[in-house]
Amino acid sequence: MKALPLLLAASLVANAAWFTTTLLRPSGSPDSTAIATRDDIGRASRSGEPAASRGSAARAIGSDDRSLAAAFKSDDPEQLRDALRALGVDDALVRQIVGARLWKNYETRLKAIGKQPDDNAAEWWKNPGHFNPRGQTREQREEMRRIQREFQAENERLLGPPDLHENPWLERQYGFLPAEKRRLLQQTEQDYNELIGEINNETSGFMLPSDREQLRFLQEEKRRDLESLLSPEELRAYDLRNSPTAQQLRWKMTKMNATEAEYLQIFDLQQNFDALYSHNTPFAEPVERDQAYWKARQEAEKELNAQIRATIGEDRYLDYVMSNDHGFQQVQAATQRLGLPEDTPRKLYALRNETPAAANRIANDATLSYDEKRAALTRLAETTRAEVRARLGSEAADVILKNHSFRWIADLEKGNITTFDENGGQGGRSLPKPSPAKKP
């Protein structure tokens, strides 16, 4: 587990302050006559009786409370831990409060090392959330990491190893591993992230071939370490959660509300494609992407889509394509916000097939003149807009129709017909203008 960032630590300090003021009210306040533990409150709520009215659930302020007040005022996190535990406070809350108090001691040392984000408070025109470590020397960065590791070790000494279940993100990413392997994996990743981060800091935004070689070497070394640490089954589970393919694919799977089985099926197909054509490898030498490269990539992508389609079926493949279209996402959001029928996005998305088909029939009608075809396409565009408004309402439809993904409707009025294939790709044609009349 990495050391808490300053922002999170500040949040925990605020939580601790709230806890302090709530738990230890001044002697004259209306609520100062009793203090209930979390377990007591839970028992009281289950019985329907106020916590303060039950003898075991409330205590008059006495020596224990004064000890707790003294623990909050002191700089000794161990004393604070013991006082909170003696009071029966939930261990997860103890960890937050004591961790925040402990971090305050280390935060002071970190701020003394070098420039921190809040040092730029006067520079209002810059983003205060963006901390650029390149303003520090290598020695300063190493000292910061040393202090963070020291904090981590002290935090675990006081409170024990962190409980995976307290952090949902860690549960998702590492929950498949036993505790000791999880700890070793997190430490391995932290070590390599620090090494890679140091190289990125040194490049100052300009990467040399030697930098790429170092990054490539570290990536290969990390993979070898992972293969040594994890069994083949664990390594597979790791890749499904943490690989570059997983990081990209999860976005698509979330949008289409994929099942676990669908994700597993698509992952292998996508990973094979990424091995040849992924652009998410900053350590690799730039590839000359000429016409032959793009043609090969386009053919491989068609094959990938065909494989996904055959794997998950026609209906779910349509969901896969639709859910990753920006226009469809906007219609989905409007549907949810306005409480429209659930099939509204699919109904409107179907217009992308129905309307161009009708437009092509008009364009191919040899009995119509050019002007008649243009007029018919304009009427078709108006009819399509009317259907969008009927399903979304005028206000939402005006927003959707301005979306780039629905520009094909307005293009009909210009004599341009956009078509969409089963993979969401676009094609099109324009009405051929009549030849000018020949002069006699």
Maximum average pLDDT range among 23-32, 57-66, 167-176, 353-362: 353-362
127 falls within a domain? no
440 falls within a domain? no
pLDDT digits (tens, 9 = 90+) for 40-53: 434 444 444 444 44
pLDDT at residue 134, as a whole number: 52
436 falls within a domain? no
126 falls within a domain? no
128 falls within a domain? no
pLDDT digits (tens, 9 = 90+) for 273-293: 998 887 655 555 566 678 888
Whether residues 222 and 367 fall in one domain: no
Q: 46: which 2 tokens? A: 């289950």
With a cut of 80, say whether residue 68 has pLDDT above it. Answer: no
Looking at 219, 240, 261, the residue that finishes a domain is 240
346 falls within a domain? yes
Average pLDDT score over residue span 23-40: 42
pLDDT at residue 172, as a whole number: 81
Whether residues 396 and 416 fall in one domain: yes
Which residue would you say has higher pLDDT here, 288 or 373? 373
Angle, CA of 328, 350 and 306, to the nearest 5° = 80
Whether residues 70 and 149 fall in one domain: yes
pLDDT at residue 62, as a whole number: 55
Whether residues 71 and 154 fall in one domain: yes
Entry pTM = 0.65
Whether residues 36 and 59 fall in one domain: yes
What is the C-alpha separation between 42 and 310, in angstroms, rounded? 53
Spell out a b/e string for 273-286, using b for 16 or more CB atoms within 10 Å of the CB, else e: bbeebeeeeebeee
Q: Which domain holds residue 146?
A: 1-118+134-162
Count structural domains, the chain: 4
What is the C-alpha separation between 249 and 251, in angstroms, rounded? 5
Looking at 195, 220, 240, the residue that finishes a domain is 240
Whether residues 182 and 236 fall in one domain: yes
Whether residues 234 and 259 fall in one domain: no
Whether residues 140 and 232 fall in one domain: no
Looking at 240, 267, 285, the residue that finishes a domain is 240
Average pLDDT score over residue span 303-323: 94
pLDDT at residue 361, as a whole number: 96
pLDDT digits (tens, 9 = 90+) for 205-264: 788 889 989 999 999 999 999 999 999 999 999 999 999 999 899 999 998 899 999 999
Share of the chain above pLDDT 90, in %: 42
Whether residues 270 and 407 fall in one domain: no
Whether residues 277 and 381 fall in one domain: no
12 falls within a domain? yes
Whether residues 334 and 295 fall in one domain: no
Whether residues 2 and 141 fall in one domain: yes
124 falls within a domain? no
